[in-house]
Structure 1
Amino acid sequence: MTAPESAPPRLVFDDDCGFCTWCAEFAAERGEFELVGFQDLTPDQLARLPEDYEDCAHLLTQNGVYSCGEAIEEIGTRLETSSRHLAMAFRQLPGTERAREPLYRRVADNRDLFGRIVSRTPPGREE
């Protein structure tokens, strides 16, 4: 078991993308995350990110950096809802590491479509 972190992890996302912003706010409402848009990154935060950081979301913790699909998986396990059990179960499936990034990329490459779907979700019905 790891020691609890003293500061909330930073969820770094493309704040020019409506779907990305919706996802980040969804996570922040259901877990403890500090939201940091690409436009608001500090030099120290930028130094921790991969060179191609604008290609996907990231989770900066005191112990490491999670990027792309791995970031979303880690965020999922930190949600304070029953959906965290789905993320934890996903981690246990054989082949998760091979499937995670292509799955992330499929959603990321179709942000416009997913953005239209979430914008039509009635309030209180997103879970």
Structure 2
Amino acid sequence: MSALESAPPRLVFDDDCGFCTWCAEFAAERGEFELVGFRDLTPDQLARLPEDYEECAHLLTQESVYSCGEAIEEVGTRLETPTRHLAVAFRRFPGTEGAREPLYRRVADNRDLFGRIVSRTPPARED
């Protein structure tokens, strides 16, 4: 297997946003992701993203680019915790695609509120 084939997916996020950074770090602690903030994007990575890439998070795999709610859903299915099953189940419900993006946008538009909530959450225990 080449280095490219074994590279973890890249989770691209707004590294100026505390909530976005918290979410990206949460995912990286529970799955295999390379975190890439907007300001650290390479020209090759940037070329794969939509023109309005700063509007949401993205997941870059070797085969695909997932954006916004679809990116978060895909991240959820790749977590190495039982929460992965919730993301997989979410995909199976009828109408999920129509609900996914409005749900993502609602959270994204209220990042300040969610950021205050997670900043009060104690860090995960290291056993």
Alignment of 1:79-90 (within 5 A): 79-90=79-90
2:30 is matched with: 30
Distance 2:93 2:82 in 1: 18
Distance 2:123 2:115 in 1: 15
Alignment of 1:13-52 (within 5 A): 13-52=13-52
RMSD: 0.9
2:61 is matched with: 61
CA positional deviation for 1:118: 0.2
Distance 2:97 2:46 in 1: 25
Distance 1:72 1:15 in 2: 16
2:121 is matched with: 121
**Residue identity (%):** 90
- Deviations along 1:39-87, one digit per CA (max 9) or x if unpaired, are 0000000000000000000000001000000000000000000000000
Structure 1 stretches of at least 4 aligned residues deviating more than 3 Å after TM superposition: none
**AA of the residue aligned to 2:48:** R
Distance 2:69 2:60 in 1: 14
SS at match of 1:63: coil
Distance 1:19 1:121 in 2: 12
2:103 is matched with: 103
Distance 1:60 1:20 in 2: 16
Return 5+ residue gaps in structure 1 as ranges.
Answer: none
Distance 1:44 1:107 in 2: 29
1:75 is matched with: 75
SS at match of 1:24: helix
Distance 1:98 1:67 in 2: 15
